[in-house]
Amino acid sequence: MANNKLIPLFGLFILFAFTKSSDYSNWRGPNRDGIYSEKGLLKDWLEGGPTLSWSFDGLGAGHSSVGIGEERLFTTGMPDSTGFLYSFDLKGNLLWKKEYGLEWFTNYTGPRSTLTVVGKLVYLVSGQGVVYCFDAISGAIKWSVNLLKKFDAENIQWGMTESLLVDGDRIICTPGGKENNVVALNRFTGETIWTSKGFGEPAAYCSPVIANHNGTRLIVTMTAMSVIGLDAETGELYWRTEQQQRNKIHANTPVYIDGVIYCSSASGEKNSGTVALKLSADGKNVEQLWRNEKLQNLMGGIIINDGFIYGSTYRKNDWYAVDTKTGNEKLISADFGNGVIIYADGLYYCYSEKGQLALVDMGPDHFTIKNKFDISQGTGEHWAHPVIHDRRLYLRHGNSLMVYDIGF
């Protein structure tokens, strides 16, 4: 019994060590919740926005954010139908670009997955469902696994989009096969560690998260019509609750706080919007605390701060504050386009689908734009999530990457 208890504690230690390391770069910040721990950031910007430190045009199509590690910056792009991994130094010099294979060229083209960087390894899944592990220094492919072929799954309508989760020596992926819905791969070799049937639903663009709950370590993600919780060590399905979206798009990572899981999707006929799920003491069951169908957020993410959820509503200019205890909402703005939200050093960074970036002071009763400016570089949709690192903001817009100084 004692040895069994040590296993999850050891895994938690490994994950904690990565999360606190400067050589660990994760989707939507260290804890996948959109909150960055940076300090010393500007509380206002000059007209026209913060200073542009450097930019690069020529990535090709794509929607992925950047990954940072080993004093390098990594991102992906698709100049034609082939995906490339790019590496820059932090001054903006292109170190190399490496071809890795066919990318998503059917609709809303280009790579989707944001790179996960752990030490000298870089991970991504292509829109075609192939997981790659690269050497961060040389760009060489150390291993690859075609999830769709290996786990008997079919690609989804707009291509695989998951940003891979590192859990100790494992990479967590969601191929969406009926018998192999969620899988854990050895992150050094690509070999299969476990597979989970889950609820047998296709993948749904969601990037999973680890919830550490009373000694139970859960993987929480969304599949085509569900929120599911799995044992992180074995992949055993513990629970499932319905979550609908008419196009089966669940692109927002769930957020876990104080025994409750919060998920947000958009535009379903029933059981859609934002939901709060309370975990049982052992984490093996959930019950719905509340559901709010006004905050229907498709893929911009939510932020939870001081007992409130903040986020925008799909295809509307509405931004809401939702009480985490009751689910009651308040409309705090109807004047800024919907889009991505992240948070650092007391302020929110909102990147609208209309191509504006705003610095916002936000609370349960207010949405005060300190400054905003138009993103003039780049191509296509404004969907990539900004990244904050070492008092700089990294913003991807299609063909272009822009880096802004946002520190004192």
Look up the CATH number of domain 41-61+303-382+384-408. Answer: 2.130.10.10
Query: Which residue in the block uniquely carries the two structure tokens 């939507």?
Result: 28
- Domains of the chain, by residue range, sit at 41-61+303-382+384-408
pLDDT confidence of residue 270: 86
Phi, then psi, of 389 in degrees rounded to 5: -150, 125
pLDDT confidence of residue 156: 97
Spans of the chain, pLDDT less than 50 = 1-22
pLDDT confidence of residue 63: 97
Amino acid at 378: G
Q: What is the reported pTM?
A: 0.93
Starting at the edge strand found earlier in the chain, the sheet holding 209-213 runs 209-213, 216-223, 226-231, 237-242
408: exposed, middle or buried (Cβ count in 10 Å: 0-12, 13-18, 19+): exposed
Q: Which of 373, 267, 251 is nearest to 302 (CA)?
A: 251
pLDDT confidence of residue 23: 62
pLDDT confidence of residue 64: 96
d(CA 136, CA 117): 8
Q: Which of 51, 57, 52, 96 is nearest to 73 (CA)?
A: 96
pLDDT confidence of residue 67: 98
Structure tokens at 199: 């609820």
